[in-house]
Amino acid sequence: MDAPVFEEIEPASDCDCPGCRHWRRVLPHSPDGRAPAHPAARRALIVAAATAATAASALGAGPAAAAPAAAHAPHRPGVSAGDEPDTPQGVRAPLYGPPGRPAAPPAGAELAAITRTEIIARAQTWVTAKVPYSTSAYWSDGYRQDCSGYVSMAWKLPTNEWTGSLGTFADRITKADLLPGDILLFHNAADPLNGSHVVIFGGWTDAAHTTYTAYEQTPPHTRKQSTPYAYWSNSAKYLPYRYKGLTSATAGTAGAAGGPPAATAPATSPASPSAATPASPSAATPASHGVAGYPGRAMFRPGAENPYVTRLGRRLVERGFGTYYTSGPGPRWGEADRRGVEAFQRAQGWRGGAADGYPGPETWRRLFS
């Protein structure tokens, strides 16, 4: 069935119908001397438009012209468009966004030193605050509220960078090297607003390393969620990077490269694993059950509070099993610590009582090896 066709018919200027007489009295004459369009003609156009729309709907036809697609609208199979919003980005800019493009950092300039724990803690502040996504607004800390501004903030960079420049502050690594605080970066050099995006790696969520916790700035606000490696779309184009200013956490804790802390005092006898509880893990390194640094199960009982709990928590974060922490980690043993240890134990293939969430000597050895 063909849609009806309508024509606009302009009545004669001397039409003497009641409507024309009324409009000739109340409407001004047009500057070129032509009388305004006949009101019946306007009604005919409105009816025609409405009828055409109804006919198109009945025939299953779509709208005459689709709205232009938004920039950077990645296709993510299996995920509704509402869950995966667009993430355009701004250009390089100073903190708090004053006008003008900032100069490149001077050659050889020393980057701010930061630990993995600090990066994740800074990233979490925006997740907690649910910072709204914006390519032009700047949060109270001075960083632009888009994906690249978020990484600039987490890395404590002196400027707001973009996906085209973040790589200059980092070194390329491999998937096997990824640790919390690293990033996965996709910069589409040919069309930066089409697909370019960056997320912060928060740690693996499965033993097969197929999913990980991603911290990202995306509409409507900052979020932290399990994400397939490397990303929902354009997965092969996301490259892992590590910040050049990364440093070890503190004395006596695991460093950026994931190595175990060095012993700073002779080990105690295995027969007396907790003969003396040091003020900090760096003060003495016990060797319970013959495992260097392991202080014994007593340090990880419910309600226990000591520096070994902090040390354990930081190591869990570094190894990618710190997703249960909402703050910290700290010195008081809690459910977030236990669940992190349990996730690590299950990643070793252990089940049942072997994955109870309480660190024994073998758990400790593997965690810090």
* C-alpha distance from residue 5 to each of 2, 45, 131 (Å): 9, 11, 52
In a domain, 248, yes or no: no
Q: Strands 223-228, 211-216: parallel, antiparallel or unpaired by DSSP?
A: antiparallel
- State the residue for tokens 């355009």: 88
Residue with the larger pLDDT of the pair 308 and 41: 308
Q: Is residue 33 located within the same domain as residue 111?
A: no
In a domain, 161, yes or no: yes
pLDDT of residue 18: 64
In a domain, 279, yes or no: yes
Q: Is residue 101 located within the same domain as residue 237?
A: yes
pLDDT digits (tens, 9 = 90+) for 122-180: 999 999 999 999 999 999 999 999 999 999 999 999 999 999 999 999 999 999 999 99
In a domain, 298, yes or no: yes
Q: Considering its fold, how many domains does the chain have in total?
A: 3
| 286 has a pLDDT exceeding 70 | no
Q: What is the mean pLDDT of residues 78-105?
A: 60
Amino acid code (one letter) for 319: R
Q: Is residue 167 located within the same domain as residue 44?
A: no
Q: Is residue 148 located within the same domain as residue 261?
A: no
Query: Mean pLDDT: which of 222-236, 251-265, 292-306 is highest?
Result: 222-236
pLDDT of residue 96: 86
C-alpha span between 199 and 230 (Å, rounded): 10
Q: What is the mean pLDDT of residues 25-51?
A: 47
Domain's final residue, options 190, 221, 243: 243
C-alpha span between 308 and 288 (Å, rounded): 13
Q: Is residue 140 located within the same domain as residue 187?
A: yes
Helices 335-347/307-318 angle, 10° precision = 50
| 5 has a pLDDT exceeding 60 | no
Domain's final residue, options 224, 243, 262: 243
Q: Is residue 132 located within the same domain as residue 221?
A: yes
In a domain, 86, yes or no: no
**Global pTM exceeds 0.85:** no
In a domain, 76, yes or no: no
| 258 has a pLDDT exceeding 80 | no
Contact 216, 200 (CB under 8 A): yes
- State the residue for tokens 């005919």: 44
C-alpha span between 162 and 135 (Å, rounded): 11
Q: Is residue 98 located within the same domain as residue 171?
A: yes
- State the residue for tokens 């667009």: 86
Contact 293, 260 (CB under 8 A): yes
Q: Is residue 238 located within the same domain as residue 261?
A: no
Q: What is the mean pLDDT of the chain?
A: 74
Q: Is residue 183 located within the same domain as residue 261?
A: no
Q: Is residue 160 located within the same domain as residue 212?
A: yes
Q: For residue 327, what are the domain limits?
A: 254-369
In a domain, 104, yes or no: yes
Q: Is residue 173 located within the same domain as residue 304?
A: no
pLDDT digits (tens, 9 = 90+) for 93-112: 888 886 655 545 544 456 88
- State the residue for tokens 């006949």: 38
167: how many CB neighbours lie within 10 A of its CB?
Answer: 16
In a domain, 192, yes or no: yes
Q: Is residue 186 located within the same domain as residue 123?
A: yes
Query: Mean pLDDT: which of 43-47, 246-250, 336-340 is highest?
Result: 336-340
